[in-house]
Amino acid sequence: MKTRAYSKKVRAGKVLCIVLAVMLAALGLGGCSSTKLAEAFDEAAVKEAAQAAVDHLNAGEYEECVAMMSQEMQEALSAEALASAAEGVFAKAGAFQEYKSVAVVGQKDKAGTDYAVAVVVADFENGKVTYNVSFDTNMEIVGFWMK
């Protein structure tokens, strides 16, 4: 007979695996150097797109969030997997309160490809959640991490 604690550990393990898969998808940016935001990006548009993605998560609109992602990300992260990861984070964080800050930085990968990374910090009733949302020049999400 499986205990409730065991079930929670299994779910936590699954959520961790899903979050790690998303992080691995963003590893293409892992060896990047931080730079000033490239001219190909509009800082306000990056902030708006990042908040839109987070808004979709907060509203439980996982399909809409995944639709903002590149084809490669969509293949790596289904709406169901995103829902499981997000719900695990939200279960601890509680209800969304407000955005505290949104910052944007530029990055280049080893090949010199430009990316924009938005760091969104949001207050929830039980603490803060930080989202890192990476965009390519087509404004598609190519990396998504939340903690």
Q: What tokens does 49 get?
A: 């797109």
Q: Report the C-alpha gap between 121 and 51 in whole angstroms.
A: 10
Looking at residue 24, its pLDDT comes to 41
pLDDT per residue as tens, the chain (147 positions): 445 554 554 454 454 445 444 444 444 444 445 578 999 999 999 999 999 999 999 999 999 999 999 999 999 999 999 999 999 999 999 999 999 999 999 999 899 899 999 999 999 999 999 999 999 999 999 999 998
Identify any residues that bridge with 105 across adjacent strands, giving them in sequence order.
117
Identify any residues that bridge with 2 across adjacent strands, giving them in sequence order.
none
Tell me how far CA of residue 108 lies from CA of 7, 37, 54, 55, 88, in angstroms: 41, 10, 24, 27, 31
Encoded amino acid at 99, one letter? Y
Q: What tokens does 55 get?
A: 């808004």
- Rounded to two decimals, the pTM is 0.76
Q: Report the C-alpha gap between 32 and 143 in whole angstroms.
A: 13
